[in-house]
Copies of this chain bind each other. A is one copy, B any other.
Amino acid sequence: MIDKTVATAADAVAQIYDGATVMIGGFGSAGQPAELIDALIAQGARELTIVNNNAGNGDTGLAALLKARRVKKIICSFPRQSDSYEFDALYRAGEIELELVPQGNLACRIQAAGSGLGAVFTPTGYGTLLAQGKETREINGKHYVLEYPISADFALIKAQQGDRWGNLVYRKTARNFGPIMAAAAKVTIAQVSEIVALGALDPEQVVTPGIFVQQLVAV
């Protein structure tokens, strides 16, 4: 019998190693896997590269991970916010590396990794600072920038319900990056509000099929 559930968030993140690339779901705090992040802080892995839309809000979740100085580099689209003071301080002190990626390129590059593409010509960013030094090409009269996949060793995501095969459904706009990050990481760990019996999720309504999920934990 295959059962991908683990007992605690600590168990789920135990395997994350120093220097790993970790995708973290969420758009602001919606969909942020707060309990998994807390467990990762307690676990102690360092020198992480984090992929997230933002760079933390307030002093919890991803911001707390930054504050604990576990993050070497962050790949995101929107670091600076009214409450991104933890990131701001590290960045101004030169203590964190930032790769700024337009949000659509971020999504697209994560999807490219999940789906096995080698690179994609995307329309976004052409002629801007964020395409500097990148290969460009005109195709049918439009300009494109060549962008490479972003893959990860681990993805930490939040879903609403999951079953022991790892099938997931989400809630409202907390869905955001969860499904595409799940496909782009070697090991995807989902925290869910509820683990349900196999068969409780309608097969027409599963958003993330279990093939993309290696572990899940109810929090």
Chain A residues within 8 Å of B, Cβ to Cβ: 108, 112, 115-123, 137, 139-140, 142, 144, 148, 169-172, 202, 204-205
**Known contacts A139-B148, A169-B204, A204-B170; A120 and B117 CB within 8 A of each other:** yes
Residues in chain B near residue A137, CB distance under 8 A: 118-119
- Contact across chains for A115 and B108 when beta carbons are under 8 A apart: yes
**CA of A108 to CA of B112 in the docked complex: distance in angstroms?**
10
Nearest CB of chain B from residue A206's CB, rounded to whole Å: 10
- Contact across chains for B120 and A120 when beta carbons are under 8 A apart: yes
Number of copies: 2
- Contact across chains for B123 and A120 when beta carbons are under 8 A apart: no
Residues in chain B near residue A169, CB distance under 8 A: 204
Residues in chain B near residue A108, CB distance under 8 A: 115, 117
- Contact across chains for B119 and A123 when beta carbons are under 8 A apart: no
**CA of A115 to CA of B105 in the docked complex: distance in angstroms?**
11
Residues in chain B near residue A142, CB distance under 8 A: 118
Nearest CB of chain B from residue A219's CB, rounded to whole Å: 20
Q: What residue in chain B is nearest A169 (Cβ atoms)? A: B204
Residues in chain B near residue A122, CB distance under 8 A: 116-118
- Contact across chains for B120 and A139 when beta carbons are under 8 A apart: no
Extra contacts besides A118-B121, A202-B205 (10): CB < 8 Å: A108-B115, A112-B120, A116-B123, A117-B121, A118-B140, A119-B139, A120-B120, A120-B121, A139-B148, A171-B204
